[in-house]
Chains A and B, each alone.
Chain A
Amino acid sequence: MMTSPGLGIRLLAFNPARLLAAFAGIAVAVVIMFVELGLLVGVLDSQAIMADLVRGDLVMMSRGRTNLHKFNDFDRIRLSQIAGLSGVGEIIPIYQGTAGLESPEDEVIRRIMVVSFPAGHTPLAIGDEDEIARQLATPRTILYDRRSRPIFGNIVVGEDVELDGALYRVGGFVDIGPDIVNDGAVVMSEGAWLMRRPNARPIMGVIRLLAGADVAQVRERIVAALPDDVSVLTPVEVRDREVAFTLSSAPIGVLFGIGMLAGLIIGAITCYQILFNEIVDRMKQYAMLKAMGFSDAFLRRVILAQAVLLSCGGFVLGLGLAYSVYAYIAKETALAVQLSLTSGGIIFALAAGMSIAAGLLAVRRVRIADPAELY
């Protein structure tokens, strides 16, 4: 049986060139939405990267450090104070600061983030633990973040680089990734960092619990044992707080939201135009269907089926294009833009919604098809 969707799709498919052009038009809107959403998620992810990288159950930070781009540190004593608490296993300090890295190519000195922690206790998921431990145990050795923006020049393993005037050997690479503020990072051991900054205080303490310990209970014990100049959060809480902070402090949510809206409007207009043209071209045929006794609801389903087909085709094509565009953006900005099921789902829902809205508008056209004009 030919159903109303069957008819709608047959009518659209009859002119493959026109259909393909229609898909392409909607794909453009889909790509715009993907890029806007991808950049937003990419920025949020990049800003929260340290939270994602933490390999531990709880994170201690200065209470004043309300976001990860505030560098309030805390007294190292706080870490020792909780060492004996039941359930607490390992406690690893992380230091963070910046240094000037001289590019081996143009010899210009650029600021780079320095992350450090005790050799042998890697609190971050940034590479092979044993290899990192081995390298950091070697004197004056650093590890270079391979996802740093390319501005620092070609950093080669085994060669020396100059960091604030001192020479370090590049022992290998880690994976951290830049954010809006930092273009790149190097990792060195706690010892090496304290040698440069004897008064450095940790910026983060990664706490690993003993097997079987309850996170909430241990956290309560920790908080009870410490003055309130530090806060103790789970990595997920740190991440959520960071995302909320980024969204509220910078207008990026609004900015990318407007971009998405623009894509949505472009898509809706394109879709409406296509459906409108389809209807206008077949006005007499639709009037004929009415004369035969087909209901307005049937005609509405025909048009809506076309809208859904357009959104599906446009989405698939747009997804393919977005994949390439994402790869390009990731390469150029080193931001963590990637296609995810969630963002794909969001964009598909938006594309379908915009097409159906356009379809419902276009349906008003088909309603005025007048069978009395046929004789």
Chain B
Amino acid sequence: MTVALAMHDGLDRPPVKATGTAVRIAGVSHSFDKGDHKKPVLSHVDLTLKHGELVILTGPSGAGKTTLLTLVGTLRKLQAGSIEVLGTELLGLSARRQRQIRRRIGFIFQDHNLFDALTVFQTLKLASELADRRPGRSEMLDRAVEILSALGMEEYLHRRPGQLSTGQKQRVAIARALINQPKLILADEPTASLDLKASNAVIDLIKQRIKGQQASALMVTHDHRIFSVADRVVHMIDGQIAGQSFGFP
């Protein structure tokens, strides 16, 4: 389905075509240099994410899930095949276009990677510098409180990472990833350091963002508790898509 509608956000970005697909991965292979020989990690991976879809990527360790995620996130150079993210082909991407795409992606890593010097609010404000339209201070405060409330973290607005637990820090990192309302969320084990209640809050928030804003998410997880919220669960083994399951209750 191709919608003949060009969305323009009014800033310096070229219009993004709404193709109905958020991510289209076609024939992607990847290998790492291991001294004098190459170690193949992905071979001929095909995968498509529609707008509004939450896809979980699972499979044994070493299957290549993380590598695939870094390729989609433009964090790694594409070697073979084609990936289209939010309407842009990643092969031969300029540094400038790469930054523009990264800004529309909410990255959630296993580690929180927070600056110990910045309060939760400062962290979110720094992230919001990258938004198409930078919010003013009071709007910023509203947004921060809103997103932190959804994660049960509103009291920690002015705390620094040193005063937070691991799970709380992870939730701050998730808030940072979502503050600019990204069109695509890429998450690697986002709930690994969270208890069930916090996990559910995080998943609910992601789910709500996806529904509300026509965003989509690709999430690597082994956490069977959250398989149920996914639209699809894709299984990867040895660098290949081994199969997918739909319609979890």
Contacts and interface: CB of A to CB of B under 8 A. Distances in A.
Given A10-B122, A292-B130, A374 B117 contact: no
Nearest to A10: B117
Contacts of B111: 284, 374
Interface string B106-137: 01011101111110001001110110001000
B211 interface: no
A371 interface: yes
B73 interface: yes
Q: How large is the interface on A (under 10, 10 to 19, 20 to 34, 35 or more residues)?
A: 20 to 34
Interface string A282-309: 1011011011111100000000000000
B109 A295 contact: no
Interface string B15-26: 000000000000
A292 B100 CA distance: 10
Contacts of A285: 113-115
B117 A292 contact: no
A284 B69 CA distance: 18
A329 interface: no
Contact of A288 (B70, B100, B101, B109): B109
Contacts of A7: 115, 118, 126
A291 B103 CA distance: 8
A7 B115 CA distance: 10
Contacts of A2: 122, 125-126, 129
A211 interface: no
A293 B70 contact: no
Contacts, number: 68
A223 interface: no
Nearest to A14: B117
Q: How large is the interface on B (under 10, 10 to 19, 20 to 34, 35 or more residues)?
A: 20 to 34
B103 A293 contact: yes
B141 to A, nearest CB: 13
A224 interface: no
Contact of B75 (A13, A282, A295, A374): A374
A1 B130 contact: no
A11 B109 contact: no
Contacts of B130: 292-294
A294 B128 CA distance: 11
Contacts of A13: 117
B53 interface: no
B66 A375 contact: yes
A147 B110 CA distance: 71
Interface string A1-20: 11000010011011000000
A287 B117 contact: no
A371 B117 contact: no
B39 interface: no
B66 A293 contact: no
B92 to A, nearest CB: 18
Chain A CB within 10 A, most for which of B101, B129, B134, B176 = B129
B76 interface: yes
Contacts of B118: 7, 10
Contact of B70 (A290, A295, A375): A375
A14 B122 CA distance: 13
Contact of A295 (B99, B110, B114, B176): B99
B115 A11 contact: yes
A287 B113 CA distance: 9
Interface in A329-375: 371-372, 374-375
B99 A284 contact: no
B113 A374 contact: yes
Contact of A1 (B113, B117, B134): B134
A292 B122 contact: no
A284 B103 CA distance: 18
Nearest to A298: B129
A284 to B, nearest CB: 5
Given A372-B75, A375-B69, A288 B129 contact: no
A292 B127 contact: yes
Nearest to A289: B126
B102 interface: yes
Contact of A292 (B69, B103, B116, B188): B103
5 contacts: A2-B129, A7-B115, A288-B107, A290-B102, A372-B75
Interface of A: 1-2, 7, 10-11, 13-14, 282, 284-285, 287-288, 290-295, 371-372, 374-375
For the complex of A and B, 5 pairs with smallest distance between CB atoms: A14-B117, A293-B103, A293-B102, A288-B113, A372-B75
Given A288-B107, A292-B107, 14 more contacts: A1-B134, A2-B126, A7-B115, A14-B117, A284-B113, A285-B113, A287-B113, A288-B113, A291-B109, A292-B176, A295-B99, A371-B75, A375-B66, A375-B69
